[in-house]
Structure 1
Amino acid sequence: MQAEPHGTMHGWIWRVNLLPFVETIAELIRCRVDDGALTASIERSDADDDSWFTFVLDGQPRVEMRFARTRTDDTVLVDVELNGIDEPLEIRIALLLDVCNRYRLRPETG
């Protein structure tokens, strides 16, 4: 993961982790996620064709993300704009990006 000034993070996550990644950020900023819109958007995206989609979480604070799926290895490229976010929240999101990159998350069964 590459972090830049101005609160932008770049990286990739396993495709199966997209929903947990977005839901966790939404929970941190007290916002709801439209799962259907997220799923439909990722299916239409394509990193090889530079066809990205933007997904905005309008919480406190607002977080803007860009995603594009890859064709070959079941991953999703991620750009996250974090302008105006305090450092502890930025660190949590960076850690989440790292975890979603290294591990394939599974929902709790119950």
Structure 2
Amino acid sequence: MTDVEMLGRLFAALGADDVPGWVASEVEEGIPQLARYRLLRALAQDVRDWDAAAVAAVRDEIASAGGHAAVGVEDIARAVARETTFSVLYRLADPDGDDLPVELRRQLPGWALVETVSAGEVTGRVLGGLYEDLGVVLDAAVGAGRSGTVAAGWIWGTNLRPFCESLAAEVGYDFDDSDWPAVETALVGTDDELPLSDWYVYPLVGRRHRVDLHVAQSVGGGEVSVSVQGAVDGPTRSRVALLLDVMAPCRMIASE
């Protein structure tokens, strides 16, 4: 298969219209159209996801953060701008965060946002993870909602990993086998009788929200105290609280 044929197949797999036109531009003009199309496709999906439910979630988020009782157009516009900016920064940081099959992703180009000097020369340093610090800058610049307690309580230690995985799913974070050892190892030296600032903190920076998971074990017991801190919308806050309530009285047993 020639390079032109391969490009055509990949553009078609992404659902592009006018595949010959995209291919010709990449081959003849040297423009990285496949990478451009992949990024634009991901951003278009984010725009498409803004439906009535998403708008309602934004209203709930504003209200839970102490917004006006009657949410105005300015509040909605600022919230949408914040969510859109977060989405764009997340896509820039994670080319593989789209819905494409793994085998297709392996054949596609990605991208990186890099630093340049005043003359435009690339320094080689990548501006990675900008979405992680967006909230901090927004707080200082426009007075965005401050973080607070989303939910707090206790669960059995055997439930901690399922809780982490479920919480991560709520905020749009992919919690996997590389995350759990960090939490499991750090938990050993904690004590829930100490102030919250002395508990172990694991950030979950997801596609929808960022939360900080504070955990500490009950010395001499099987319980783990949990506090989830962050700025989330109303429905997410309710689901996280329900998740904590459900896992508190139950002991989950891992399958063999």
Structure 1 length normalisation: TM-score? 0.83
Q: Which residue, out of 173, 177, 182, partners 1:37? A: 182
Q: How many residues align?
A: 104
Matched with 2:74 is none
CA RMSD of aligned residues (A): 1.9
Matched with 1:18 is 160
Matched, 1:103 2:250: yes
Post-superposition Cα deviations, 1:30-76, rounded to whole Å, max 9, x if no partner, equal 21230110111111212245541111101020011111101132001
Higher relative contact order (CA 8 A, sep 6+): 1
For residues 81 and 20 of structure 1, the distance between their equivalents in structure 2, rounded to whole angstroms, comes to 18
Matched with 1:62 is 210
Pick the structure with greater CA Rg: 2
Give aligned-pair identity as a percent: 33
Q: Give how far 1:87 is off.
A: 1.1
Unmatched segments (≥5 aa) in structure 2:
1-65, 67-146
The one-letter code of the counterpart of 2:173 is C
Indicate the structure with greater strand content. 1
Q: Give how far 1:82 is off.
A: 3.1
Runs of 4+ in structure 1 deviating by more than 3 angstroms, as ranges, are 48-51
Matched, 1:47 2:192: yes
For residues 35 and 53 of structure 1, the distance between their equivalents in structure 2, rounded to whole angstroms, comes to 13
The one-letter code of the counterpart of 1:11 is G
For residues 103 and 39 of structure 1, the distance between their equivalents in structure 2, rounded to whole angstroms, comes to 19
The one-letter code of the counterpart of 1:32 is D
